[in-house]
Amino acid sequence: MKEWWVQVGLLGVPLLAVYLHIPPPQLSPALRSWKSSGSFFTYKDLNIFYRDSTGAVGSSDVVVLLHGFPTSSYDWSKIWEGLTQRFHRVIALDFLGFGFSDKPRPHGYSIFEQASIVEGLLRHLGLRHQRINLLSHDYGDTVAQELLHRDDVVVLVSHGRCRFHLDLIAQVSMAPGANSRLCSTSNSRLCSTSNSRLCCSWSLCNNGFFFSVLQYINQRKKHRERWVGALMSTSVPLHLIYGPLDPVNPHPEFLQLYKKVLPMSTVSVLDDHISHYPQLEDPTGFLNAYLNFINSF
């Protein structure tokens, strides 16, 4: 009798082949609308999807939204209209490998490249030298930390000019081994909202470079001092919007650690039933918390 693993292999290979050739699902009407309302710009021959809405009259404030893993800019859909009532420009992109942006293979996806893509988008929109508010979540937190590090370098050179407010939905991991990635936002839990899950591109979930994109976790460990240091040393205002039911960052241990590491940051704690995607689970509470922070300056 053949070894059991040989039998499993003989059965598994054709099943895997069939799985990899399943066509992608049709976009929902909401996602089709989201895509049609956006545009693409080119970064090093790669097509990057973004949305740019003009909002509040009389305001010059700009907010850039950085989504998490493994979703897309659609994560911000429930608060988009509310943001346009406060900001002159509301901008979000799909990171390379996510959503409607290109997904090159093979490719060494890195946080550094994603940060450079954000900078490329700001140049494309003529906003590179304007003060920007960053609102980030999950994977986007690390991109924001890299942008903050780069901006701190600019601040030193230009004698105090600061272009960013960093409005951070930081996930300080309380999982085993957290000391090696403190404040490095290691949560990668799937959102339970069906429309948001659809934003995880079929190619990302289905064709193997899911694991290429996941290298950001190792990058967080490797560059911990750079990215955590950016948070700890910055003079830019920081704010945490936290859902107490977040399974990776349990309450109250998470908040205790966060406040210890970043005592200068302000914090908004949402209702007890809010988890890892507060902007989707409680868009009103989330938006109010964010605007209260913004309006405090």
pLDDT for residue 220: 84
* Alpha-carbon distances of 260 from 156, 225, 231, 284, 296, rounded to whole Å: 26, 17, 13, 28, 23
For position 119, what pLDDT does the model report? 95
The parts of the chain modelled with pLDDT lower than 50 are 1, 153-163, 170-208
- Residue 235 one-letter amino acid: S
Question: Is the bond leading into 237 cis (omega within 30 degrees of zero)?
Answer: no
pLDDT at 20: 66
Return the pLDDT at 216.
84
pLDDT for 169 equals 58
pTM: 0.79
User: How far, in Å, are 2, 25, 43, 91, 167 from residue 66 at the CA level?
Assistant: 51, 25, 17, 9, 11
**Predicted local distance difference test score (pLDDT) of residue 15:** 67
* Count of other CB atoms within 10 angstroms of residue 1: 5
Could you tell me what percent of the chain has a pLDDT over 70? Answer: 73
